[in-house]
Structure 1
Amino acid sequence: MSQDTSSTPSPEENSFSIQPIGFIASDLKEKFGTPRQAGLCLSVASSIILENSAFNREAITGLENCSHLWVLAWFHKNKDMKARSLVRPPRLGGNTKVGVFSTRSPYRPNPISISACALNGIVFKKNEIIIEIDGCDLVHGTPVIDIKPYIPYADAIEDSSAGWADGDWPILEVSYSPQARAILDKHQLEDGLTEILCQDPRPAYQKKNEGKVYTFQFNAFDISFKTINETHVRVEEITALKDKNGK
C-alpha cells in the first residue's frame, strides 16, 4: 500500500520539547565501563528516581505488576558531540562503518536511548519514588524521558534478526589481585564488576594492547585492570574515589 508523503509539516509543527520525568541512580559513573547494551550485566542494580508528586504516584499505578520495563532516556553526556551518519560499532572491531540508524550508538540526531530492564520493586520515600531496576546500561544522572511496560506477546519477536549485531559476543575470563579481592569481598562488588569486565569494555581499536592498564569508576571506587591476553583481564587495584577535597 502506498502512502501520501506529499504534505510536509512546517518547522513550527515539527518543533517540540521534552522534559525528563526522572533520573537514573547507578554505580555506573562514566561511559567507559558501562555495559554496551541493557541486560548484559544483571547484577548491576540501578534506580529510576521520580519526584514523589501526586501525578507520579498515580502514573505508576499498576507498574508493580510488570516484570520488565522499557526505559527511554537522553544521552546527556553527548551534548557537545555532533550526530554522525556513520559509526563504528565495537562488535565489528571498531573499523567497519555502518549507518547510525542501524545501531544503538549515542551519536544520534536525537540522543535517545532505549533499555529493557528488569523491575525489582518500587520504594516510596518522602520526596522520591524509587523504581529499582536491574540490567540497566545508563550512567548515574542520566535523564529519563519515559517508562513503558515490556509486553511479551508484542515485544518478544520470534525469528527476529539484528543484522550485523547477530552472533555471540566473546566472554573474557576475569581475575583479581589479592588487594582487589579484599575490596571486593568487603563491599560485595564482585558480581556486577565481573559482568562488566567479562564483556570487555575496552575500545575495539585498543584490544591488541596487551598489558595496558585501564581505569574506570564503579560504585565509589576506581577500578584499574589490564589485559593478560586476548581472553583474560585482571583487576590490579581497587581504590576509593577521592572527594573534592582530595580525601
Structure 2
Amino acid sequence: MLDENSLLDNYHQAPVIGYHRASLSQKFGAPRQPNLVALTSVIEMLAPYDTPAAFDGLDKFSHIWVSWQFHHNYRYKNNNKTSSDFRAQVRPPRLGGNQKIGVFASRSMYRPSGLGLSVVKLEQVKIVQGRVLLIIKGADMIDGTPIIDVKPYVAYSDALIQTENGFAPTAPELLNVTVTDAANEQFMMLVNTGEPSNAHSDTSNNDTNIKDANTGSNSATVASTIHRIQNQLITSDMSIIKELIAQDPRPAYRRIEIATPFVMRYKSVDVSFQLIESGQLQITAVAAI
C-alpha cells in the first residue's frame, strides 16, 4: 500500500499558461456549467505561451476546450494539497444540495485534481502588443482563473448525441427576473458615467472594435483590452446580469426564502436581488463597488 508521501509524489505539475479575465470576480453568480450564459471574457496568455505562432490556425475553429484550475477551492487557495482532503462524495446543487453522490459522478470543484474542463466559443484570437488574447464567450470560470491548456473542439469526435446524462438530463429551469424602476435608474446612471460616448452602439460586448496596437489602427493595449471587457459597464450588461440571476445562484437550501437580499458582483457594480411573492427574482438595487 502506498503511503501519503508516495501519493504526493504522484502529483502531476502542469504549467499555468494564462489567466482568465472576466466580469465576475466571485463564485456567487457564476454559471455552474459552460454556455448557459453568453458572457464575454478574455484568456490572457503568459510568456512564453503568448507567442502568436503557437495559435496559428486556431481561429479556424469556432469553439475550444479550456482546462483550468478551481483557484477558489479552499484546498488550492491555501496551497493545502494532501490526499487526506479527498472527498468521496459531494452534494450537487442540481439535487437540492442535500443528496450525496460520488465526486467522480459530479462536476464539483472539490475533486482530487482541482481541474475544470469547459467548451467555450472562440470569438477572436487577438494580437495586442505582440501578445495573444483569446476573446471567448460562454465560460463558467471567474476572474483570475489559472488556465492550464487550450485545444480545439472537434465536433465529429467531441459531440456525442446519444448519451445518458444521469441526474442532469436537461438544462436547469430558468427563473423569471424583473428589475425595479429604481434599480434600472441606478444602473443607467452608472452606465452613463462610466462608458465612452460610442459604447451604447456596442451591443455585442465582444471587443471586436479594438484592433491590434501593432497595426497602428487603434491605440489598444493589453490592459485596455482586458479592462473594457472586465470592468466597463455598458447598456447590454443588464441583459447579461438578468441571464446570470435567472440561473438562480442562491444556495439550494435558501431558495424558498422570500424577500431575503442576495448580492452578485458584476464588473464594477454590486447587484442586489431577492425572491418575491410571485416566484420571480427581482433586482432591487445596483451600486458601484
Output the TM-score relative to the length of structure 2: 0.75
2:27 paired with 1:31: yes
The structure-2 alpha-carbon separation of the partners of 1:181 and 1:83, relative to structure 1 and needing over 3 Å to count, comes to farther
Q: Which residue of 1 aligns with 2:167?
A: 164
Q: Distance in 1 between matches of 2:11 and 2:104?
A: 21
2:136 counterpart of 1:141: no
Instruction: Give per-residue Cα distances to partners, 1:29-70, cap 9 Å, x unaligned.
Output: 10011000000001x111110136476322111111110011
Paired residue secondary structure (2:37)? coil
Structure 1 pair 127–239 and aligned structure 2 pair: CA distance change class (3 A): farther
Alpha-carbon distance change, 135 to 163 in structure 1, aligned in 2, over 3 angstroms: same
Q: What CA deviation, in whole Å up to 9, does each residue of 1:164-223 have, x standing for no partner?
A: 111341211101112321344433211211111111111101111111000121111111
Counterparts of 1:180-195 in structure 2 under 5 Å? 180-185=183-188, 186=191, 187-188=234-235, 189-195=237-243
- 1:197 corresponding residue in structure 2: 245
Give CA-to-partner distance per residue, 1:96-142, whole Å, 9 cap, x none. 11111111110011110011100100211126311000000101000
Q: Are 2:37 and 1:41 aligned?
A: yes
Matched, 1:132 2:135: yes
Residues 1-247 of structure 1 correspond to what in structure 2 (within 5 A)? 14-42=10-38, 44-51=39-46, 53=48, 56-78=51-73, 79=76, 80=78, 82-126=85-129, 128-185=131-188, 186=191, 187-188=234-235, 189-229=237-277, 231-241=279-289
Distance 1:41 1:85 in 2: 30
Q: Which runs of 5+ in 2 are unaligned?
A: 1-5, 192-233
- How many residue pairs get aligned? The number is 231
Separation in structure 2 between the aligned mates of residue 234 and residue 56 of structure 1, nearest angstrom: 45
Checking the alignment, whether the CA contact within 8 Å between 1:52 and 1:124 is kept in structure 2 is: no
Residue 15 of structure 1, CA deviation = 4.2
Structure number having the greater strand percentage: 1
Q: Distance in 1 between matches of 2:142 and 2:22?
A: 6
For residues 216 and 22 of structure 1, the distance between their equivalents in structure 2, rounded to whole angstroms, comes to 25
What's the C-alpha RMSD, in Å, of the aligned pairs?
A: 2.0
Q: Distance in 1 between matches of 2:185 and 2:64?
A: 35
More helix by share: 2
* Partner Cα separation in structure 2 for residue 21 and residue 236 of structure 1: 40
Residues 37, 243 of structure 2: 8 Å contact kept: yes
- Change in CA separation of 1:229 and 1:159 when aligned onto 2, cut-off 3 Å: farther
Range moving further from structure 2, 225-234 or 58-67 = 225-234
Which deviates further from its counterpart, 221-230 or 66-75? 221-230
Letter in 2 for 1:109: P
TM-score by length of 1: 0.87
**Percentage of matched positions with identical amino acids:** 33
